[in-house]
Each structure stands twice: as C-alpha cells, then as structure tokens.
Amino acid sequence: MATGRDYRGMTAEQRLADRRERLQTAAYTLFAGAGFTATTIERLCAAARISNRAFYECFTGREDLMRAVYDRCVEETLVAVSKAIAGASPDLDSRIHAGIGEYITFVTRDARRARIMHLEVRRAGDILAVHRQRAVTGFAQIIEQTLGDLPGGLPARTHLLALGMVGAIQELLIEWVLADPSPPLEHLIETAVHIFRRSVGS
C-alpha cells in the first residue's frame, strides 16, 4: 500500500521516484558532456528542476548518482548483448560477431552512454571501482559462456581470456570517444573480432 500525502496527483514515493529519474536523466547528459568532475550538484539540480535539498533525499552525492546512471547503462547493454547472442546462429563465429557487434553498436548508438561507461566512470574515482569490476565480470561471463561452445573448451585460461577481451573492447571504445575523427564502427568491430579469433585460435 502506498503511503504519504498526495501532491499534484503523486504520492511521496512517486515524487521521490520522479526526482530520482529526473536527476539520472540530467546526469546522463551532463556527466557525458561537461564531464563528471566539472558537473556540480547545483548544476544537476538546475537541469532536473529540483532543489539541492531534494537532491540529498534521492542520492548521497554525485558519486552515488553516477553509480545509478552507470549501472543502468551496463544493465541495458548486458541485456542487448545477451539477446543478440541468443538470436544468432549456434556456431561460434556467428555468436562472436553478434555479441561483439551488438556491444559496440549499442554502446555507441548514444555517445553519452559510451562516454559514461568507458571514460567518465573512471574519472569518478575509486569509489566506483566495485561497480566497474562488477560490470567487467558480467561481460566476461557472457564471453565465457560463448567460449564454452569451443570443442574441448579452454578450461585453463577461459576466464583470463574473457577479461582480456573485455579490456580490449573497452580500450577500442575509449579511442572512439576521444579520437577526432572517431574511427568507423565497422573498424572497431573488425578489430575486436580479429583479436577474439586470434586469442581462441578460431
């Protein structure tokens, strides 16, 4: 049962959820634009049209807000990649293409997502290290599941190979974010697929 006084047709819980969503929407643009370090709480509140006091009812600080935005980006990407692999032909090569292609395509479809996931989260500092590691683990697990289809498997080095592949893709996407002009997406995908194939001997 919802509690709290109705205000403009919204309960207290609904108002809180609305403010959190507006702050995440503002942060998604500002953290990716001006950057995490240059974005103040005052600027976030102005963009979300809420008071500074209301901010602290939603998040403990900028880092907490970055965690929420980053986690959402990662979750959406994990879902997209998993669906792409599940819908691909069962052979390993098709699944490699589907997974890598969808990751790079989905993340770069909105440059804000690419910048937050691969650049600004690092600038947020060590406080987000656990969340970054959790994201790396999630993507590595998808790679490990895909590699499980290899004849005989790679039991001795599958986990390390998966971590290395995640790192390679992240560096390629950092290059895409920072380079001017950005390298074509098809080049990123081809490069990542090439690295994957050489790594597994495919």
Please report the pLDDT score of residue 7 as a whole number: 54
Q: Is residue 201 over pLDDT 80?
A: no
Please report the pLDDT score of residue 146 as a whole number: 82
pLDDT band, very low/low/confident/very high, at 2 (cuts 50, 70, 90): very low
Q: Is residue 70 over pLDDT 60?
A: yes
Please report the pLDDT score of residue 156 as a whole number: 59
What kind of fold does domain 62-200 have according to CATH?
Tetracycline Repressor; domain 2 (1.10.357)
Please report the pLDDT score of residue 202 as a whole number: 55
Where does residue 42 rank: exposed (0-12), middle (13-18), buried (19+ CB within 10 A)? Answer: exposed
* More reliable by pLDDT, 93 or 186: 186
Amino acid at site 68: A
Let me know the angle formed at the C-alpha of 117 by 109 and 49, rounded to the nearest 5 degrees.
85
Q: Is residue 147 over pLDDT 90?
A: no
Q: Do you know the residue count of the chain?
A: 202
Coil, helix or strand at residue 10: strand
Tens of pLDDT, residue by residue over 9-26, are 788 899 999 999 999 999
What DSSP string runs through 25-70?
A: HHHHHHHHHT-TTT--HHHHHHHHT--HHHHHHH-SSHHHHHHHHH
Average pLDDT, the chain: 90
Q: What is the mean pLDDT of residues 116-131?
A: 90
Half-sphere exposure of 48 (CA within 13 A, CB side): 31
What DSSP string runs through 116-168?
A: IIIIIHHHT-GGGHHHHHHHHHHHHHHHHHHHTTSTT--TTTHHHHHHHHHHH
Tens of pLDDT, residue by residue over 25-59, are 999 999 999 999 999 999 999 999 999 999 999 99
Query: The tokens of 148 are what?
Result: 């499980």
Please report the pLDDT score of residue 161 as a whole number: 86
Q: What is the mean pLDDT of residues 152-178?
A: 85
CB neighbour burial string for 80-118, b if at least 16 within 10 angstroms, e if fewer: bbeebbeebeeebeebbbbbbbbbbbbbbeeebbbbbbb
Please report the pLDDT score of residue 144 as a whole number: 87
Please report the pLDDT score of residue 137 as a whole number: 93
Cα distances (Å, whole numbers) of residue 8 to 5, 14, 26, 188: 10, 11, 22, 49
Amino acid at site 88: A
